[in-house]
Structure 1
Amino acid sequence: MIHMGLLNIIRRMHLRQKLSVREIARRTGLSRNTITKHLAGGTIEPKFATP
């Protein structure tokens, strides 16, 4: 699972900088499938660690 900060960076790269999924995957080290899944997912609910 990726953290919220990285998800925001991925969205910014895709929407503002107009980078392709392939280029985002290369820069972040994540798979293209992971990038695509999180871009298509829309908003996500934050998950908090349980003690």
Structure 2
Amino acid sequence: MEYPIVAVCREENMEQLKYAVTSEVVADVMFAPIEASVAKRRIELYKKKMN
């Protein structure tokens, strides 16, 4: 079973964002600070995709 890799980047850090977007292993990008409601929603979406 494969799990999606989520990169957590600071919104103003273009170097982090560029690496995450161009990387072949990162499936999603979230911006710090992470809000709990956003994280929960994304986790539920990934659970649905995996089933």
TM-score range, shorter chain: 0.3 to 0.5
Q: Which has the higher helix share?
A: 1
TM-score, normalising length: structure 1: 0.32
Q: Which has the higher strand share?
A: 2
TM-score, normalising length: structure 2: 0.32
